[in-house]
Amino acid sequence: MEKLQNLRGMVDLLPEHTPLWQFIEETARTHFRRSGVNEIRTPLLEPTELFARGIGESTDVVNKEMYSFFDRGDRSCTLRPEGTASIVRAALQHNLLAQGPQRFWYSGPMFRYERPQAGRQRQFHQIGLELHGYSDPRSDVEAISIAWDLLMDLGVKRLALELNTLGSISDRILYRQKLETWLSDHFNELDEDSRARVSSNPLRILDSKIPSTKELLKKAPLLSNELSAESSERFAAVREGLANLGIPFKINPYLVRGLDYYSHTAFEIISDQLGAQSTVCGGGRYDGLVEQLGGHNTPAIGWALGVERLVLLIMQGNIPIKIPSPDFYIINKGKVAEAIALTLARQLRNSGMIVELDCSKSAFSKQFKRADRSNALQAIILGEEEVARNQIRIKNLRTNISNRSLNIEDFLDNSKFSILYC
Ligand code: ATP
Ligand code: MG
């Protein structure tokens, strides 16, 4: 029979990988908790229309990358390609925004039908933040600083924060017209993908990775020249806020989000160690999205970081991850000994210790080898001989201290657990 395989772009995380993932997730959780941000969990499957409206029909994500299908009730469903649209939907559906500003974080798998390569998968994972209801530039600074501090705390080096402003929605409308006219005048010099976007999504062309288009765009009108005084002041406040916190950044006038509901701050955190997939974290302000999905006008800012790319960076940087070792590995053989071992393991675990119980019934020598490999601090040895003497043996696996023997009853007595450690 042919061996069953996972789908292309869907990756297994084996037990050797998950400690690093848990470390990242726990560190993120700590940062969100410290920042008064609450976790939200939304379904992986949503009505397709949510993403068509919430991400935009002219984007690659909606056009080419979604996993959409009809369910048995003939509803068009889509595996979520990102988190923001679902969170806005949930906030509206449960009327959370009526209670004042909301601070959400989320994490989990996202699905996009892309060409798999290092740092790009079809099922990938994001950790993200969304702040709803704040328009003050300090909320932009706060959102960025939470991402920055998390990445610093994870020990990731050589990151660059790139920043831009897209201006207010009305600045954008004016600029879009100007850009569209300029691009139409230079239509023949554009690459094919960009040509298709001139009238549907001209701002997105600014983000093109095609060298000839990048070169051409150096002469295109810049949004920064079209900003209203208010938008310029707002951007200055964001820059000043970041500078005051000592967070280094670089202005990138070509950093854009193509859709009309994005406004003001756009940012990316980039590494020079990830090849073509260089963006670890991307975010920005989306003041028009809540209204676009049927709510009241609500300012909002958010970001999402790609966990696979973060994992690559942490692995490249050889950043040490602390994994708690078992306190005990229980080596046991013989009917009575095995029954006692199970009770023992349970009791020790209930008192908070990490215990690995060998359930193999293999020879002592094999169990000893596994105990060594388990990284446990101590082995508990329980065989027929020990049971006959009503004792267990404890061996320190890290030092040459000789074995100790203890009475089984003493050992099972919670109040005497302190005697377990030499
Ligand atoms: P890219 O230009 O790399 O495709 P994007 O603009 O599509 O990124 P966002 O939608 O802003 O990405 O998602 C935020 C982050 O999620 C990205 O910066 C990246 O770290 C991660 N990400 C996006 N798509 C993938 C993917 N297919 N595989 C792994 N990580 C991804
Ligand atoms: Mg993409």
Would 377 be classed as within a structural domain? yes
Is there a single domain that holds both residue 101 and residue 242? Answer: yes
pLDDT on residue 414 = 59
- Check residue 149 and give its pLDDT: 98
For the chain, residues with pLDDT lower than 50 are: 422
Ligand 1 centre and the CA of 341: distance in Å?
49
Q: Same domain for 81 and 58?
A: yes
80: Cβ below 6 Å to ligand 1?
no
* CATH code of residue 371: 3.40.50.800
Question: What is the maximal distance between C-alpha atoms in the chain?
Answer: 94
Q: Is residue 134 located within the same domain as residue 280?
A: yes
- pLDDT of res. 276: 85
Same structural domain for residues 120 and 23?
yes
Taking the CA of residue 280 as reference, the ligand 1 atom at the shortest distance is 20
123 in Cβ contact with 10 (< 8 Å): yes
**Phi, psi torsion values for 275, nearest 5 degrees:** 60, -135
Atom of ligand 1 nearest to the CA of 81: 10
Give the separation between CA 232 and CA 240, rounded to whole angstroms.
Answer: 12
pLDDT digits (tens, 9 = 90+) for 366-422: 999 999 999 999 999 999 999 999 999 999 998 877 788 888 887 776 555 555 554
Q: What is the pLDDT of residues 22-65, one digit of tens each?
A: 999 999 999 999 999 999 999 999 999 999 999 888 788 998 99
Number of domains in the chain: 2
Residue 173, domain member (yes or no):
no
Strands 45-47 and 76-79: antiparallel
Q: Give the model's pLDDT for residue 419.
A: 54
Residues 309 and 335 placed together within one structural domain of the fold = no
Q: Which of 239, 100, 55 is nearest to 165 (CA)?
A: 239
Q: Which residues pair with 269 in a beta bridge?
A: 161, 281
Q: What percent of the chain has pLDDT over 70?
A: 97
CA dist., res. 256 & res. 394, Å (int): 63
What confidence score (pLDDT) does residue 265 get?
96
How much is the mean pLDDT over the chain? Answer: 92
Determine if ligand 1 sits within 6 Å of the CB of residue 91.
no
Binding-site residue set for L-histidine = 82-84, 112, 126, 130, 257, 261-262
Same domain assignment for residues 256 and 367: no
Q: Is 340 helix (H, G, I), strand (E, B) or coil?
A: helix
